[in-house]
Copies of this chain bind each other. A is one copy, B any other.
Amino acid sequence: MKFYDCATAPSPRRVRIFLAEKGVALPTVQVDLRNNEQLGAAFRAVNPEATVPVLELDSGTRIADIVAICRYIEETHPRPPLMGVDAEDKAVVEQRLHWVEREGFQAAGDAFRNAARGLKDRALPGPDNYAQIPALAERGGARLARFFERLDQRLGASEFVAGPRYTIADITALVSIDFAGWIKLQPPPELTRLKRWHEAVSARPSAKA
């Protein structure tokens, strides 16, 4: 297998943390997103979507999707389970994962990509250019503030985002919050349950990935 990564970017970090929790080490190729290497012909031959991360399997098949890569690793390296332990738990984890992706990760992406000076026509990742929409940056910030509040509430009911176990939903929430920090959108200190959880997941060795 071969893993196409970018050490500074939030999307591949979600996979790196997942791999670290599984104890899986992969040969890695760095793609320089800051200099738009993903838009060049060489990388588009690897992934026409022009996004990172990508996992190239030994069969030659390339998986260019964060959660689909995690799914493959979960299937082939089941221990420790990070995507649920039975049918009901898998559904609960997936529900929470999608909630965090939408309200946290995507909101941070909207806030960042629609405002960053270097991304004028790159408001969305992918092969096509789309102009920034300032109102979408603003909405992203408003959604993030609500996400922080609601995540704090959830963490009053369980130790981790999707219940009693650390899962892919915690990984996505951690990376979303750290990504939001790039644009100075941080959880207010009075959200003490969120603060407790963020300190705990940040202290795991995988968080350095």
Which of A8-16, A84-92, A174-182, A184-192 faces chain B? Answer: A84-92
Interface size class of A (residues with CB under 8 A): 20 to 34
Copies in the complex: 2
Q: Could you tell me the distance between the alpha carbons of A122 and B142 in the complex, rounded to whole angstroms?
A: 15
Prevailing SS type, chain A contact patch: helix
A65 touches B88 (CB 8 A): no
B99 touches A128 (CB 8 A): no
> What residues on B are CB-neighbors of A75 within 8 Å?
86-87, 90-91
CB distance from A99 to the nearest CB of B (A): 7
| Chain B: CB-nearest residue to A128 | B146
Known: A61-B92, A135-B136. 15 other contacts (CB 8 A): A57-B88, A61-B88, A63-B91, A68-B91, A68-B94, A68-B95, A69-B91, A71-B91, A72-B87, A75-B90, A133-B133, A133-B135, A133-B139, A135-B135, A136-B136
